Amino acid sequence: MDVMFHSQPCDGRVRGAPQTLELLLAPPLSVHVEGGPPPSAMSSLLLFLASALLLHSVWTLDFRYHLNREIEQYLIQTSKSNPNITHLYSIGKSVRGQELWVLALGVNPQRHVVGIPEFKYVANMHGNEVLGRELMLHLVEHLVQGYQNQEASVLQLLRSTRIHILPSMNPDGFDDADTSCQYGQGRHNHNNVDLNRNFPDVFADPRRQQLSEDQREAEVRAVMRWLRNETFVLSANLHGGALVASYAYDNGKTGSLQMGGASLTPDDDVFIHLSKEYSHNHASMHLGNICQDSRPFQDGITNGYQWYPLAGGMQDYNYVWAQCLEVTLELSCCKFPPPDQLPRLWDDNRKSLLAYIRQVHLGVKGVVYDGAGAAAQNALVEVEGRKNVCPFRTNSHGEYYRLLLPGNYTFTVTYPDHEVLTQTLSVPYGPDGYSAATHNFRLRRTSAVATGRIQTCPTPGYNPAVNLEGGGASSSLTRLRHAVGFSLAALVRWVIE
């Protein structure tokens, strides 16, 4: 008997579900069987059996689109039922005041543990791109049930990783969304702002950078605070309207929206690997030409800027200022797939979602210790040949995480009043063993004057002279200003992404 999570048609708006609290809180029936146990014992037995049946029915997740309040109830119940591996928290509220719920999963779900990388999935940034919401709920169910059933792969994942899942970054937009496959309302938040154009952008026009944090949208501010509070290493942002994995940069060095070549990060090889890891584990994304109205994508991946440029995107913000590598996953040709396709779409993505999480164990991790043996917070940890706009640095625990493909890399560690340390490390492939290589750096104090290198990287103003080693627009086409190209890029971006 399905009480709450029941099948229902998707007829332009997601309709309400029956109330369940009245059923759960109703007094038990008074039943007595002649010759049986006394009424009090029978009532208790019936109440126990009825409660067990109702709870199973209420929290059994089916394949349909769920309301925001239903997602909230599901996350609350899952957290209450599995406190040893889940922790539910809110990163803030939407414009209309709806909580932005995040469920953390792992063997230490409530707090960060040194050596355990932080991973996140963010879905429903555009309110009318809805598949990600349901995939996240089924991923939660898969991980919880896998842990309960002692499945080896799930146990290894939860013991080695702290996974954060935000099913809806734009619940207000979802409330307004219709079921149009491509065109439809609900993309923007309640203030009619595209959240994926509202983040600080290192490439953007100076006037965009003059927008203070408190002037940005509530949902964007919540994510920015979230990124300051957690040391995320890897992330994915789930969208709809195409079938492709799109990686940074989304914007280009020129700071203008132009069609043309790629805009590459210093970690382009890693981004390509991450994107292929998802596309090649997906049932069809790797084929690259599934959607009829979309261009073909080799291996089912693309550089974001090369596909179509955008300013103020969350993907670039994660990488530049939060030292978190994020890939944008376009997971369905239709923004609002018919509900009867949800079981197949979950099957198409399940393996990819799990394989992508394991990539948080690429490369090398460790702790930087100062001359007194204490963890060195905010030490710069740089890799030769990978000069980031904001240098990667240690967190409050002195930890660093660098996602790197197997190979030899030269690291340079810089910390005030300490000698600069340079070491070459051999980095193996870590995801198969659910752990990156571990290497701690131990520094020596010096009496020399500090180098003056920046130890923090606040949101800067636009600097056209910023040095992006291995980055920036790689094609002369990206330096051309074509009004027609700009208009077409803007239209394509609005329709697809």
pLDDT tens digits for range 98-111:
999 999 999 999 99
ω before 121 within 30° of 0 (cis)? no
Over 50: is that where the pLDDT of 378 sits?
yes
Over 60: is that where the pLDDT of 51 sits?
no
Q: What b/e readout covers 110-134, taking b as 16+ CB neighbours within 10 angstroms?
A: eebeeebbbbbbbbbbbbbbbbbbb
Of residues 409, 410, 372, 416, the one with CA closest to residue 394: 416
Cβ partners under 8 Å of residue 49, min gap 6: none
Mean pLDDT across 27-41: 43
* Domain extent listing, the chain: 1-60, 68-361+486-496, 364-442
Type of residue found at 152: A
Confidence band (pLDDT; 50, 70, 90) for 450? low
Mean pLDDT across 32-51: 48
Between CA 1 and CA 41 the distance in angstroms is 25
Over 60: is that where the pLDDT of 25 sits?
no
- The mean-pLDDT minimum among 71-80, 288-297, 305-314 falls in 288-297
Give CA 419 to chain center in angstroms. 37
Give 348-362 pLDDT, tens digit per residue.
Answer: 999 999 999 999 999
Greater confidence, 201 or 94? 94
Between CA 188 and CA 390 the distance in angstroms is 30
Class of CATH domain 68-361+486-496: alpha beta
pLDDT recorded at residue 403? 99
pLDDT recorded at residue 458? 53
pLDDT recorded at residue 427? 98
Over 90: is that where the pLDDT of 312 sits?
yes
Mean pLDDT across 372-394: 96
Please confirm, yes or no, whether 217 is among the known catalytic residues.
no
Type of residue found at 171: P
pLDDT recorded at residue 7? 34
Over 60: is that where the pLDDT of 315 sits?
yes
Greater confidence, 207 or 414? 414
The answer to whether residues 278 and 356 touch, using CB atoms and an 8 Å cutoff, is: yes
Give me 326's structure tokens: 């994020």
Of residues 399, 429, 359, the one with CA closest to residue 120: 359
Over 60: is that where the pLDDT of 43 sits?
no
Mean pLDDT across 94-123: 98
Mean pLDDT across 316-320: 97
Over 50: is that where the pLDDT of 57 sits?
no
Of residues 277, 432, 452, the one with CA closest to residue 353: 277
Over 70: is that where the pLDDT of 469 sits?
no
CATH number for 364-442 (one of 3.30.365.10, 2.60.40.1120, 1.10.12.10, 3.40.50.1980): it is 2.60.40.1120
| pLDDT, averaged across the chain | 83
Between CA 216 and CA 225 the distance in angstroms is 12
> Alpha carbon of 438 to those of 115, 159, 364, 406: distances in Å?
8, 16, 6, 14
Over 90: is that where the pLDDT of 97 sits?
yes
Between CA 497 and CA 493 the distance in angstroms is 5
Between CA 66 and CA 106 the distance in angstroms is 25
| 493: phi then psi, degrees, rounded to nearest 5 | -60, -40
Taking phi first (over 0 means left), then psi (-120 to 50 degrees means alpha), and beta for anything else, what does residue 227 get?
alpha
Give 74-86 pLDDT, tens digit per residue.
Answer: 999 999 999 999 9
Greater confidence, 4 or 291? 291
Of residues 322, 229, 223, 306, the one with CA closest to residue 272: 306
Cβ partners under 8 Å of residue 221, min gap 6: 92, 213, 214
Q: What does pTM read for this prediction?
A: 0.82
Share of the chain above pLDDT 90, in %: 70
Greater confidence, 423 or 29? 423
- Strands (E) across 29-156 are located at 86-93, 99-105, 118-123
The answer to whether residues 258 and 305 touch, using CB atoms and an 8 Å cutoff, is: no
Greater confidence, 453 or 309? 309
pLDDT recorded at residue 253? 72
Mean pLDDT across 62-82: 98
Over 90: is that where the pLDDT of 477 sits?
no
Query: Which of the 8 DSSP states describes residue 297?
Result: -
∠ at Cα 223 (218, 228), nearest 5°?
125
Q: Quickly tell me which residue has 């030409």 as its tokens.
A: 289
pLDDT recorded at residue 260? 59
Of 118, 134, 330, 399, catalytic: 330
Mean pLDDT across 187-203: 95
For the chain, the first-to-last Cα distance in angstroms comes to 39
Mean pLDDT across 279-305: 91
